[in-house]
């Protein structure tokens, strides 16, 4: 009975995270429109950060209750899910191609991934030094993105109304204060949903005798990646395929540098089950390098359905490997 109750709450927490994450995404986009911020900057900063907030809330919560492997595995699992499952699914739906700014971000995408692998390999903790390094690199990346894009075209507003769908009701957001209020509401949903998710995921892991890392890198990672999935589905439905790659790259960078950086500043994260976590991190790096070389050196600088199938199949295979 307790297992059924926790499973129900786990599912409920994922729904709450979806509501919170998507509310923040919509609020962020509207705020950016009202402040006339460049569209590219929105994709790589505001939206990427917004879609990474569930991972932030979950990892900080896990670190504060000393579930350190849970905190790190959640980030690694989310990145693997973003690259393999979401990007693979997107490529199966429609070929994806990179633009100049996305190819410029690829090195930072690899650097951030490599830094995490190196920290796990060499250290037993993510403390203040490691956190400050991550956050410093994140600031540099955002500065470069802003500098590169500041002179480019502004957001192309389809209409003068900024509408957000909230519980099936259309709400017109016509001021910055209202947009900020919507973002705060989304944050409250994320806070409540992350607490519910972590508590019940840990209980289920203990009840079934499964490592917290396994639960975190699979079910929890998929749950916290729902905003990225929602953004991708919306982008596909609107045929805005160019937004998908930028969101995935940006989210993965934020997941590592911002989430673990902030978590490590709040409380020291001890890497307990380092051998297993390192295997997960190496797989994340391998799939990231695969994407890097495909985007960087392919003639079309994009991925089609064959690559999409490989990515999708690699995710399924890895999840099976983790549970075995």
CA-based radius of gyration for the chain: 19
pLDDT of res. 2: 80
Helix (H), strand (E) at residue 48: helix 48-64
- d(C-alpha 131, C-alpha 95), whole Å: 36
Q: State in Å, rounded, how far the first CA of the chain is from the last one.
A: 26
Which residues does 316 contact at the CB level (< 8 Å), separation at least 6? none
Return the SS3 of 142: helix
Q: What is the pLDDT of residue 152?
A: 53
Q: Mark residue 154 as left, alpha or beta (left: phi above 0; alpha: psi -120 to 50; beta: remaining).
A: beta
Q: Which residues of 191-205 are buried (b: 16+ CB within 10 A; e: fewer)?
A: bebbebbbbbbbbbb
pLDDT at 24: 74
Beta bridge partners of 125: 270
In angstroms, the CA 239 to CA 78 distance is 24
Element (H, E) at 126: strand 125-126
Please tell me the distance from the alpha carbon of residue 63 to that of residue 291, in angstroms, as a whole number: 30
What pLDDT shows up at residue 290? Answer: 93
Give dist(CA 80, CA 89) in Å, integer: 13
What residues in the chain have per-residue pLDDT under 50?
153-160
């Amino acid at each position: 009975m307790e297992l059924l109750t926790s499973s129900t709450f786990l599912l409920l927490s994922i729904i709450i995270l979806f509501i919170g994450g998507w509310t923040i995404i919509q609020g962020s986009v509207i705020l950016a429109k009202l402040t006339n911020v460049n569209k590219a900057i929105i994709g790589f900063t505001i939206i990427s950060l917004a879609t990474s907030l569930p991972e932030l809330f979950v990892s900080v919560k896990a670190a504060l209750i000393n579930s350190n492997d849970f905190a790190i595995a959640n980030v690694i699992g989310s990145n693997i899910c973003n690259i393999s499952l979401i990007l693979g699914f997107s490529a199966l739906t429609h070929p994806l191609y990179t633009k100049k700014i996305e190819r410029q971000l690829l090195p930072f995408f690899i650097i951030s991934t490599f830094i995490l692998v190196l920290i796990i390999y060499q250290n037993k903790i993510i403390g203040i030094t490691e956190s400050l390094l991550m956050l410093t690199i994140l600031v540099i990346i955002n500065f470069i993105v802003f500098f590169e894009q500041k002179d480019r075209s502004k957001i192309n507003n389809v209409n003068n109304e900024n509408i957000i769908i909230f519980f099936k009701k259309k709400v017109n957001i016509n001021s910055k204060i209202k947009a900020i209020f919507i973002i705060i509401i989304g944050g409250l949903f994320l806070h409540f949903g992350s607490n519910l998710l972590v508590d019940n995921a840990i209980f289920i892991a203990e009840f079934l005798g499964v490592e917290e890392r396994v639960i975190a890198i699979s079910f929890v990672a998929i749950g916290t990646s729902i905003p990225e999935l929602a953004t991708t589905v919306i982008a596909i439905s609107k045929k805005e395929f160019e937004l998908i790659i930028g969101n995935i790259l940006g989210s993965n960078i934020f997941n590592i540098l911002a989430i673990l950086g902030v978590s490590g500043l709040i409380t020291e994260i001890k890497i307990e089950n380092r051998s297993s976590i390192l295997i997960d991190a190496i797989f994340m790096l391998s799939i990231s390098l695969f994407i890097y070389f495909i985007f960087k050196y392919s003639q079309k600088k994009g991925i089609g359905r064959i690559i999409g199938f490989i990515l999708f199949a690699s995710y399924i295979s890895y999840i099976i490997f983790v549970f075995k």
